[in-house]
Structure 1
């Protein structure tokens, strides 16, 4: 039986970025913030220069951070205006609470009302930012995946997704700066005017393709002494065979994308990036047995067999829902797909 394993991908080195604070309204005063923080916690008398309040425990000692999402992650909502929420984060990077401050989403203003949105926000309580949180219903047998699913709101998919991304972006920015000492800065953007003649072999020579291989024997060894030891007959028959043969290519720079993709897929990717300028596309190819997603995978959702992290914090991945045809020289066996992450979330 093929065993599912959670893969934590070490992506090619990138410029580590936080979120630049964009134009935003004045933040809440202490009275308003304190009213939204549940006992036994309280907040410091003044916020820091970055607008982040120190969370205090019942003894007055620092216990975490309290912050608004809009100043840190002013992602426009479906209405065009950001959704502003207050996040309470403890020192173990666990979300204690998320409270709504202001939203102008049509579906929650004159449609469904705010009640389902408030119920959605309650789901974040108790979850760590180190978990892979995604919005949506689990599909198939999701027991082998590492995803934490948050129930969305029917008829409000876009608004809920924007709220989720705002919470993640702001929380990850605070975690990087406060817990890891990585200062916030504008997200890195590939230079669209840079062009370089490359092909697949050139990508390999330049180290622009990352490859990870894991043999059947290595996986078997990882399960030695557990209840799953010897549970894979195929591995026993072919111990040197590839359980995982994973190739990764960051397709953000056009020269790299052109070298990795066939012309039709390259053109489709450029059209996609034109309407999603903050997305960073990542090509993943697996020619081993593990595969990229399960048989029940639903397009345009988070992959259930892959996960990524950067500096110990999760990187949100989602299928870009693009048809992938590879350039000459690229691996022909196995499966390939293009995943997307959002540079505004710190990638």
Structure 2
């Protein structure tokens, strides 16, 4: 009997264990790695019939069918029988096709309210091997949750923010740099595209550059002096490393579509060959570099993505894949320096206009020597095609004030009063001997009047 009972217990235990393995995981524990998605996810007019739209736009109780180009759905909340528009939900792959480390996009569902604030993000499917073997998938979920409450019109970058330039920073994922750079592009470019379409962001399209008839051959020193070739240098100590005479990277870069610049750098034949390979909306830049490290990074070796350089213009950022890369075999400009590595990168897309300023951005990890923690940081250098190379000259660009300048302008009255208070304190302090002589035991107001007044102002106004 005992052996029979033990046998039944063993069989029952085995059955329960197998059933537990075969049963689906709870929703919170399900992985998005190569997760199965509906076959009609990109074509079904009713996007939210098969996707969790309410998770990314809390408070909505109904959704429209797909509309617009690129497509999105409107989200509504019903109050007393009336439907009120509360936001928009969109699928990243309906808008952008940005591959991550694996070469495949991270398919993301994104919610945004009517003011352009991101209300939710949900990763539906990814193919990132690093999130299967080395880094928990929850880390990527935590990363995308940083977008909640952010405005799609903000300048958001990976790494530490730069308040003086209006950039908001996001914490990166150590060991998954390519993935987070790609995902930042996915979320922000998707949000901006829909915000522009529904009228939240009113941005006039930039006209394409029109080159002047000027066509001259210049030496390297002339190109650098006039600004047609710019330089971006990052020193080891800027990344928390020991000081060294050799820079970490020392990059020269320029815009090759400009005839005078392209022919000076590549030669006539090289310029013609490059232009023949570019589409009507393509733009070519070159980079040559020296230093102790590489501007190409290691992502392009593993995943075909250059994870250390990108181009930024206003709210748009352009990353480069192996398909956007061409070999630069040499510099034809007289007096050009020797270099360790080089590249020609192609910027693709109608949103970029070389008539307006843009920046080359270098991304790197900065080591905190005290804690050993690494932060993602960026360095950039502005480039703007010269007046003489543009048919109508440089367009007028009104650059926004730095945040500290905006604060000063907004609080000009308070700052003026505070300055007057400081001047008054200085005058009274300089006159302290005269005021003390005028005071008596019974009449100390020459001293006390200012003292008490200053106390009240300090507590009620300054404090």
Give the structure 1 partner of residue 292 of structure 2. Answer: none
Name the SS of the counterpart of 2:51 in structure 1: helix
The CA deviation string for residues 240-292 of structure 1, in whole angstroms up to 9 with x for no partner, is xxxxxxxxx98252635415x6459x98xx99xx9xxx985679xxxxxxxxx
Q: Report whether the alignment pairs 1:154 with 2:178.
A: no
Q: TM-score, normalised by structure 1?
A: 0.52
TM alignment of 1:1-347, pairs within 5 A: 25-26=42-43, 28-48=47-67, 50=69, 51-59=71-79, 60-138=83-161, 142-179=162-199, 198-199=215-216, 251=255, 253=257, 255=259, 257-258=261-262, 262-263=265-266, 280=283, 300=308, 308-309=313-314, 314-316=315-317, 343-344=348-349, 346-347=351-352
Q: TM-score, normalised by structure 2?
A: 0.40
User: C-alpha separation between the residues in 2 aligned to 1:146 and 1:317?
Assistant: 19
Equivalent residues of 1:83, 1:102 under 8 A apart: yes
The 3 A distance-change label for structure 1 pair 115 and 39 is: same
Q: How many residues are aligned here?
A: 234
Pairwise CA distance, 1:107? 1.1
User: C-alpha separation between the residues in 1 aligned to 2:316 and 2:90?
Assistant: 21
User: C-alpha separation between the residues in 2 aligned to 1:54 and 1:210?
Assistant: 47
Equivalent residues of 1:172, 1:345 under 8 A apart: no
The CA deviation string for residues 91-142 of structure 1, in whole angstroms up to 9 with x for no partner, is 222211111111111111232131110000000111112211001235xxx4
Pairwise CA distance, 1:54? 0.3
The 3 A distance-change label for structure 1 pair 134 and 256 is: farther
Name the SS of the counterpart of 2:160 in structure 1: coil
User: C-alpha separation between the residues in 1 aligned to 2:96 and 2:137?
Assistant: 21
The CA deviation string for residues 45-83 of structure 1, in whole angstroms up to 9 with x for no partner, is 422254311022453211221100012101222212211
Listed as ranges, the gaps of 5+ residues in structure 2 are 1-39, 219-225, 229-252, 287-306, 321-330, 335-342, 353-463
After superposition, the CA RMSD in angstroms is 5.1
Listed as ranges, the gaps of 5+ residues in structure 1 are 1-22, 183-187, 191-195, 202-208, 212-248, 284-298, 320-324, 329-337
Equivalent residues of 1:279, 1:341 under 8 A apart: yes
Report the structure number with the largest CA radius of gyration.
2
